Amino acid sequence: MGFDLLTENAFAGHAAAAAGSAAGAAFLTHPLDTLKTLLQVGAGSSQQVGLLQVVERVRMVSGLSGFYSGLGWSVLGKLFGFGSRFGTYEILTAYYKDGRTYKYVHVSEALLAGMAAGAMEAVICTPFELLKIRGQVSSASHLKKFGSVGVMQESTPLISKLLPGSTPNMKAWNNTLGMLSTLSTSHIDIVGVLKQYPWMLTGSGRPPFASEVKEPSKIVSLEGWSALWRGLRPGIAQKCVFGGFFFSTWQFFHIAMLDWKALDMNPPPRSIDDVGPVSPLASSLAVGFSGMVAAAASHPFDTAKTRSQCIVTPKYITMERKLLRWEPPGIWLERVTGMSPADRNIMFRGLKLRMLRSGIASFALVGSYLLSLDYLF
């Protein structure tokens, strides 16, 4: 009965084929994405982490299952992201083709539609990508356990809520109380009030690592709801560049394949619309190559987005920055796109892995989608 529903209802059949293809592509390429993320996050100005070191680290900390950390969030993000990307692109290209005698899209039009589709995808996918990246980072991180944390959490429950993974610094705490004891105060329990502020109890106020704040509840509690969209600016830049290059390159190869196919037709077709579809294999190969080109063009923004989403910024720090009107450093392009000047020399870390992952994922996505449609219809 379910199979009959898919074959009789065109929308349900296309939706099921697209969802299955997106999930399969995400599962197939997730280990490459995990390695790419760890290379980007582990890179620094003084040292560069190698691929073999990352593989050994993940295997030692989490085993083989560590390469699939964050897979669930990745699949959810791909389902919503691909739907918004291709849906927006189809709507815009339908607007371009409206009223024309021919029904194909120019490369420049595909570029603009792809950029708009990428921006829509970034807004929808950013929370899922943040949760995915936090999970991937935890696959290579040892979680430290402190014996004194449990006692302090019982006396001040806000510690477990606001600073997961942190440990109180009693020396700094006693020094703070010693300095405040010389001041006159009318508050009845100033010590109890100060215990409600986690940066007072930890001494330095060091926020926890990204691997310690990977659940949605902890992220919202410590960093606020807006943290789910951290990295949105570099994400929009990355998705716009990726979408523009992806669809324009794909359309360029699609038109070239149609022109090549028309050379062998007798009589010659009157227009490109009369040529007919290209083979699924040729279309999948063109999409795979387009994904590799788009990944190479947008990789610096992807590195900036990945590194920014691994920074844990508690709510009180965000509030202080707003009150002080803190301006991010860098040139205007870096400020607008959310890139850090300190990361200029590592923007292309993991480029080959991302190109490989994007090419395989694009090929698998379109190829499995076309095969599913042939099977259903």
Confidence of residue 147 (pLDDT cuts 50, 70, 90): very low
User: Chain-wide mean pLDDT for the chain?
Assistant: 83
pLDDT digits over 354-373, tens only?
Answer: 999 999 999 999 999 988 88
Q: Report whether pLDDT(322) > 90.
A: no
- pLDDT class of 8 with cuts at 50, 70, 90: low
Question: Residue range 263-272: average pLDDT?
Answer: 78
SS3 104: coil
- How far is residue 32's CA from residue 356's CA, in Å, rounded to a whole number? 8
Among candidates 143, 15, 132, which has minimal Cα distance to 75? 132
**pLDDT tens digits for range 277-304:** 888 899 999 999 999 999 999 999 999 9
Q: 220 is written with which tokens?
A: 């919202």
Q: Output DSSP code: residue 346.
A: G
Dist CA 312 CA 41 (whole Å): 13
Neighbour-count burial for 235-274, b at 16+ CB within 10 Å, e otherwise: bbbbbbbbbbbbbbbbbbbbbebbeebeeeeeeeeeeeee
pLDDT(206) > 80? no
DSSP classification of residue 202: S
Which positions ≥6 away from 251 have C-beta within 8 Å? Answer: 105, 106, 107, 110
Q: What SS3 state is found at 98?
A: coil
pLDDT at position 264: 79
Q: Is 1 exposed, middle or buried (0-12, 13-18, 19+ CB in 10 A)?
A: exposed
Question: What is the rounded distance in angstroms from the CA atom of residue 15 to the CA atom of residue 83?
Answer: 9
pLDDT in tens, 66-78: 999 999 999 999 9
Tokens 């949105």, residue? 232
Assess whether pLDDT exceeds 90 at residue 221. Answer: no
Q: What is the pLDDT of residue 223?
A: 87
pLDDT for 276: 78
Average pLDDT over residues 256-274: 81
Task: Please report which residue ranges of 263-314 form alpha helices under DSSP H.
Answer: 280-309
pLDDT at 193: 64
Q: Sorting pLDDT into bands at 50, 70 and 90, what band is 103?
A: confident
> Would you state the structure tokens that stand for residue 207, as one six-digit string?
């926020």
Q: What is the pLDDT of residue 156?
A: 45
What's at 236, amino acid-wise? I
